Amino acid sequence: MVRTRFAPSPTGMLHLGAARTALFNWLYARHHGGEFVLRIEDTDRERSTREAVEAILEGMRWLGLESDQDPFFQSHAMLRHQEVAWELYHKGMAYKCYATPEEVEAMREKARAEGKPPRYNGLWREKEPGAAQENQPFVLRFKSPQTGETVIQDLVQGEVKMQNELLDDLVLLRSDGTPTYMLSVVVDDHDMEITHILRGDDHLTNTFRQYHLYQAMGWEIPQVAHIPLIHGQDGGKLSKRHGAVGVGAYREMGILPEAMANYLLRLGWGHGDEEVIPQDRAIELFDTDGLGKSPSRFDLTKLMHLNGIYLREAHDTELAGYVKELLEKQGVALDKGQQALLERAMPGLKVRAKDLNELADSALVYFKSPIELLDEKAEKFLTPENLEMLEKFANVAQAQEAWDHEVLEQAARDFAEAEDLKLGKVAQPLRAKLTGRTISPSVFEVMELLGKEESLKRLRAVL
């Protein structure tokens, strides 16, 4: 059975790249009817924080990427990792290295100077510790093969080769006895029976070193797929200087999780001409053959476009729920009647918004008075002549028996004709007076939803 994992280290926000990796792993498992698990790689206790774990879980929940098991914390498996390290040692596949960090650094410098890859030179590989090493600190290093080449079959990159002499003897246990990342991932992926690893291609070179660890333990090697990283607009690795990199920030920008997931899916993965791919369709289509080999740039504009699409297709009840919350945050509480109004107003509002914040703001015309909302552009429409004209129109409106947008629009058309005005010359001042803004859904729709009483009240109010 297919089993994938997402293994973030909890040192900050849920990065967009990480979110995409999580999404791919989740989709791969779902597509193949397998399982998806979350492993928190918190072995660096200096940098790992409780808040970061929360942010990751929160982000995953938001994106709808539920895992099939409770999150596994790597730090809890430390004993197991050490056990494997010592097993390797007893099998003669690892050795104690007494070189100090300074000595190792010197080796690197020397190699660098010789134009070779900076690496540990294997000083203690065959050397037996003498009396001088008694009670001295040491690290446990893995005996990496020094000759031949390693070939891995990557689901995305294809066949990738590496000369083994380029690999140095990686540290398995630090001088304080704690396991390193390189050891822990391998042990955990094996113990958790992970069959497929989809991760950023910054891990590609690690794969060669991990390969030999699997071999040394006689373990089966999982399939790997290294996906190119997400870059910023300038082509560099996506980082803070490109703007928001945490999914939480996009949530706050009013992005719908469905849109975020769809956008992330299409960054580095494609299926013909399909652009709008909701979750169930994504599960149906996703596989590694659709993954691209070249890095892609993050484009906020396209994300926003997709958000608009999902916004328009979203259920009015759902959107009204989001908006209600956002309005409450700004201190605008809605009673039951207003909530119903909000939902009815949604079709007219959602086609005009590109994110939830805009949507919430546009809904204000129904809940705040024109005086409160009045902006400069709208004010310009409220000239003495226009106000006079609107007074006349108020009488026309009041005379209407039925109160719906069609009737009102026809009344406005007739009125405009009688006054020898274009409809726009009536509608725009009307909008300004009614909403305090120059942008809103159809004024006639606004009037219908506001109701006759409220509409006339606003129309006749002295600003």
Partner RNA sequence: GACCCCAUCGUCUAGCGGUUAGGACAUCACCCUUUCAAGGUGGAAACACGGGUUCGAUUCCCGUUGGGGUCGCCA
Shortest distance, position 157 Cβ to RNA, whole Å: 5
CB-facing half-sphere around the CA of 193: CA atoms within 13 A: 5
Tokens of 253: 């920008």
Cβ nearer to RNA, comparing 34 with 206: 206
Strands 149-154 and 158-163: antiparallel
Cβ nearer to RNA, comparing 175 with 338: 175
Q: Which residues are catalytic?
A: 240
What secondary structure does DSSP assign to 261-296, as a single string? Answer: HHHHHHSSB--TT-----HHHHHHH--GGGB-SS-E
* Cα–Cα distance list, 424 to 41, 363, 384, 413, 442 (Å): 62, 22, 17, 10, 12
DSSP 399: T
Cβ nearer to RNA, comparing 125 with 405: 405
Q: Which of 4, 13, 87, 106 is nearest to 53 (CA)?
A: 13
Please count the other Cβ atoms lying within 10 Å of the Cβ belonging to residue 215: 13
In this structure, the chain runs to a length of 463
Tokens of 192: 């958790």
Shortest distance, position 103 Cβ to RNA, whole Å: 8
Shortest distance, position 283 Cβ to RNA, whole Å: 18
Cβ nearer to RNA, comparing 63 with 265: 265
Q: Is the Cβ–Cβ distance between 363 and 349 less than 8 Å?
A: yes
Shortest distance, position 255 Cβ to RNA, whole Å: 14
Cβ nearer to RNA, comparing 50 with 329: 50
User: Chain centroid to CA 373: how far?
Assistant: 34
Q: Is the Cβ–Cβ distance between 404 and 455 less than 8 Å?
A: no
Cα(25)–Cα(30) distance, integer angstroms: 9
Cβ nearer to RNA, comparing 351 with 418: 351
CB-facing half-sphere around the CA of 419: CA atoms within 13 A: 21
What torsion do the CA atoms of 263, 269, 273, 275 make, to the nearest 10 degrees?
-10
